[in-house]
């Protein structure tokens, strides 16, 4: 099971394909704060709600200096369908080998309907302008999560 990140840790570097197959790196966001959220699967109810909430608040977050990146183990083709179907504006990245999910502590054992399973742990890591972890939130709820982050950040 992967280690969970703590505030002050250096955020693990990554370069992953987006919904169009273009490579996107965390390093490209240097100088801006980035909200990196990890979700189990595109086109599922909870993940759709979360992605739509971030999309609805993207302008507000961008105005406060935050970029938003969603990462799941889905392939770019599925992310493209997800983006089109839900009119998503957040950057969606594919991590099918789960290397980035593991590096961020967002993959491992979790409780699902009372059973222990191994899978994506719905998580959000806020990375500062220097690439350090500002906040690391694990086992977050899909519904209301974007609003909670906005409130916690004082935006």
Question: Residue ranges of the domains in the chain?
Answer: 10-147
Strand order in the sheet with 123-127: 91-94, 66-72, 33-38, 123-127, 133-138
- The reply to whether 52 belongs to the active site is no
Q: What is the pLDDT along the chain (155 residues), one digit of tens a residue?
A: 468 999 999 999 999 999 999 999 999 999 999 999 999 999 999 899 999 999 999 999 999 999 999 999 999 999 999 999 999 999 999 999 999 999 999 999 888 788 888 999 999 999 999 999 999 999 999 999 899 999 999 99
- Token duo for residue 96: 């099918």
Instruction: Tell if the pTM clears 0.85, that is, is over it.
Output: yes
- Token duo for residue 60: 């507000």
| β-strands 123-127, 33-38 pairing | antiparallel
Kindly give, in sequence order, each residue whose CB lies less than 8 Å from that of residue 12, ignoring residues fewer than 6 positions away: 5, 26, 100, 103, 104
| β-strands 15-17, 23-25 pairing | antiparallel
Of residues 31, 33, 12, 2, the one with CA closest to residue 108: 2
3-state secondary structure of 63: helix
Superfamily of domain 10-147: Glutaredoxin (3.40.30.10)
**Distance in angstroms (rounded) separating the CA atoms of residues 15 and 93:** 9
Write down the catalytic residue from 11, 35, 47, 121. 47
- Token duo for residue 59: 């302008």
């Amino acid at each position: 099971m992967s280690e969970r990140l703590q505030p002050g840790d250096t955020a693990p570097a990554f370069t992953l394909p987006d919904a169009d197959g273009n490579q996107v790196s965390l390093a490209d966001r240097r100088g801006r704060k980035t909200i990196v959220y990890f979700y189990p699967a595109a086109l599922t109810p909870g993940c759709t709600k979360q992605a739509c909430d971030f999309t609805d608040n993207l302008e507000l977050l961008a105005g406060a200096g935050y970029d938003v990146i969603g990462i799941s183990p889905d392939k770019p083709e599925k992310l493209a369908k997800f983006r089109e179907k839900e009119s998503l504006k957040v950057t969606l990245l594919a991590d099918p080998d789960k290397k980035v999910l593991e590096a961020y502590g967002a993959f491992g054992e979790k409780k699902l309907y009372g059973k222990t399973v191994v899978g994506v742990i719905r998580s959000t890591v806020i990375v500062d302008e220097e690439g350090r972890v500002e906040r690391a939130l694990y086992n977050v709820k899909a519904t209301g999560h974007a609003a909670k982050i906005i409130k916690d950040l004082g935006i």
